Structures are given as C-alpha cells and as structure tokens.
Amino acid sequence: MKAVANKLPLDIETIRLDFPILKRKVNGYPLVYLDNAATSQTPQQVIDVIVDYYSNYNANIHRGVHSLSQEATDKYESARKKIQQHFNVANSHEIIFTSGTTHSINLVANGFAQELEKGDEVIVSALEHHSNIVPWQMLCEKTGAILKVIPMTQEGELDMEAFHKLLSAKTKMVFVNHVSNALGTVNPIEEIIEATHKVGAAILVDGAQAAPHIKADLQALDVDFYVVSAHKICGPTGVGMLYGKEKWLNKLPPYQGGGEMIATVSFEKTTYAELPHKFEAGTPNICGGIAFGAAIDYMNAIGFKNIAAYEHQLLEYATKELLEIEGVKIYGTSKEKTAVISFNIEGLHPYDIGTIVDKLGIALRTGHHCAQPIMDFYKIPGTVRASFSFYNTFEEVDLFIGAIKKAKMMLQ
C-alpha cells in the first residue's frame, strides 16, 4: 500500500484539514466516510461562504434597490457565471438554478409534454437513478408516448448495439446518466449524444454522479440538457443546476408560476420573464447558489485531473483488497468507472453488513441505491456500496476492508 503513497497526485493530509467532519468519531471510532455517491462532505471554504452570507448580506435578490440586495444579487449571479465557465456553457442564462437534479429533470419532463404525441418514443437506460426514470414514466402516461429501455450487460455497461437499434424517426428524446450512481459505470455519452441527434431527437444527460469526478465540456458534448446537484460536489443540499440549450429553454413552457418568473402580470394576460428567470419562480436558494459557486472553485483548485487520478488509485487498491475476501462479488466491472464499488458477500444480507461496519465508524450505503431495475437485473435485493472521494485515504481503505472481514466473521 505504501508503495503508491509517495507518488500521490494530491496532498491528502492537507486536503483533509479542510473538512471538519472528517475529524469526528462515530460509535467511538474515527469516521470513515465512504458514502460519497449519496452526498459529499463540505469543506470549511464552503461552510465559510454560507456563514458569511447569513452573517453579512442576507437579502432577497433581483428586486431591491438597497445595497444588501445588490450585493446578494451580484454574488448569486457571479456564482451562475462560475458554473457557466466550469461547464463551458456559451451563455449564463442557459444555467438555471434548481433545487437539484431531481427538480431539473422534472422541469424538463414537464415541459416536454407539449413536444410529444401518442406513439412517439422516448428512450431511457437500464442504469438510471429513479429520478431519471419516474418523471419520464409520468410524462408517457400523460402523453401516450412509449418508454423504451436501453438494456445493460453483466458488466454493468449499456448495450450500445441495442441502443442503436432502438433509435428511429419516432424517437423524440433520450435520457441517460453520465455515470451510474449504483455501479460507477461511465457511459459513452459522446456516442449516445451523436446518435440521438442523428435521428433528430433531444437528449438529457444526468450528470449528478459524474460532476464530482469529471469536468464536462457541455459545448463540446453538444448535449441538449445536463443536470447536476451541488451536494455531490462539496456544495450544500437543496441546490443544483439545469443546463439547457437556449433554443430549448425558449421553447419549453415555465414549470412553476410565481414571482421572479414574470415580465408583466395582469388578470387578462401574464408575460414571462427572459431566461433564466422564466424557470426560477419564487425566492431561490440564494445562499445555496452562492455556496455552489464556492464548491466549484474549491474542486477546481484541487483539479479534476488530480481528483480522477487519485480516486482511480483508491478504486484499484480497494477492489483488489476486497476481491481477496472469499465470497465477495462485485457488481459493475466496466473498464470505465468512477470510484464506486457495489458488492455482496455470498450468503449475507447487505443490510447486515452495513449495520455492523457502521458500529466500527464506517459509513457505507446498502440497498438498491435508487436504482431498483439494476438490482432486478442481477436478481439481488441490493448491494453494499463503498463510494470514494478525493479526501479518502489508503488507510481508510484498510479500515474498510478490516471491518468487512470482521462483519463476515460475525455473520457467518
């Protein structure tokens, strides 16, 4: 293990000092946080921004002439610009602040009702999070469109041959995640986007699980919609983004009505505000938006190339150590994957393993990971999932492996 330690791409010990929560104990043991695919931890730099907002310039935005309101508006809009730059988006008004990935997807699904007719087809993948399945099912029920599914393989990859066969002139939209939260598979979205556009359909990519590991260039990808939650990239919960191409955002109807999203209101007729405000009804999560920008700054200061390289080392080491335990089966063995390991131990229930290792301070996820169709595919009730971040260490991998061995001994 120590062989790699002297050529790490990141100074982990210094980085860890940024995260106050990593100093705490859980059940008498130092916290080993390996549930990063569910939510990431928050560095002091982001916490400071949140405290600063409520301590010094808490005010409603976009409508006040007073100084505090101006200050809050400037910071909020500059966060939007940071997000725009990070994802290499052409216009800042193509970035819509939402409450997160789920909200972003529902906004698009709701708007797409007007684009679909009975018999049209929409395509989803077998690897999706429930939040990228259910809104489209609801849309199909409303419109009479038909939901088609890209099947997956034993390795946890999309069956691309089958995908190309599903595409036709009837296809109106494709939804696929960039990275699977349950298995860590990185999907070939470049190929998927290109093929989707060839048949004249639109495509939404769920980037929630990719954003912590991959800096996506949305203009190069030429994707129609891309959605992200701030809380998976060191930001707060309750805020996220919807990127949409200008032509789509102009075409789709508003999702919610209210303040902020109007130009003029009378009882005869209301006209809508320009982008991005058309989709931002009501007082937004102002502090959250600003902290989202700070989180992006924090991650970029560390550098996504360094993050990906280091997490890959953690993944390889943890995978190798885990496979030495008898009876371990890993689900999702795609060549391209982020640092997520979904696994089971023969004869043991994932929940029991999760409960025992929690007693030893190890935070893992057990269950279906909001992706029941994947569990059905493997004919299992769920898995144990360890998901790593750049602030995890090789020592923590050892503690995790030790705890799994202990749990196995106790349960068998």
Of 106 and 393, which CB lies nearer to ligand PLP in the complex structure?
Answer: 106
Residue 392 is a binding residue for ligand PLP (CB under 6 A): no
Q: Which is nearer to ligand PLP, 176 or 384 (CB)?
A: 176
Catalytic site residue from 140, 234, 287, 370: 370
The label of the residue with tokens 């001994």 reads 409
> Minimum CB separation from ligand PLP for residue 229, in Å?
3
Q: Which of 206, 224, 260, 321 binds ligand PLP (CB under 6 A)?
A: 206
Contact between 208 and ligand PLP by CB under 6 A: the answer reads: yes
Smaller CB distance to ligand PLP: residue 132 or 383?
132
Give the residue with the Cβ less far from ligand PLP, 158 or 345.
158
Q: How far is the CB of 208 from ligand PLP (least distance, A)?
A: 3
Of 233 and 401, the one with the shorter C-beta distance to ligand PLP is 233
Find the binding residues for ligand PLP in span 74-93 (CB under 6 A): none
Options 229, 313, 334, 389; binder of ligand PLP; rule CB under 6 A? 229
Q: Which backbone phi and psi does 273 adopt, to 5 degrees?
A: -70, 165
Residue 110 sits in the site that holds ligand PLP (CB under 6 A) = no
181 belongs to the binding site for ligand PLP (CB under 6 A) = yes
Q: Residue 324 CB, nearest distance to ligand PLP (Å)?
A: 29
Q: Which is nearer to ligand PLP, 73 or 99 (CB)?
A: 99
Asked if 140 is an active-site residue, the reply is no
Among 46, 73, 82, 100, binds ligand PLP (CB under 6 A): 100
150: left (phi over 0), alpha (psi -120 to 50) or beta: beta
Q: Looking at 82, 86, 93, 129, which residue binds ligand PLP (CB under 6 A)?
A: 129
Among 132, 285, 342, 366, binds ligand PLP (CB under 6 A): 132
Q: Tell me which stretch binds ligand PLP (CB under 6 A): 138-146, 159-167, 206-214, 404-412.
A: 206-214
Q: Per CB under 6 A, does 368 bind ligand PLP? A: no
397, two tokens: 């991998």
Residue 101 binds ligand PLP, judged by CB under 6 A: yes
Write down the least CB distance from residue 371 to ligand PLP, Å: 8
131 interacts with ligand PLP by CB under 6 A: yes
Give catalytic residue positions.
Answer: 370
Positions touching ligand PLP (CB under 6 A) are 100-102, 129, 131-132, 177, 181, 206, 208-209, 229, 232
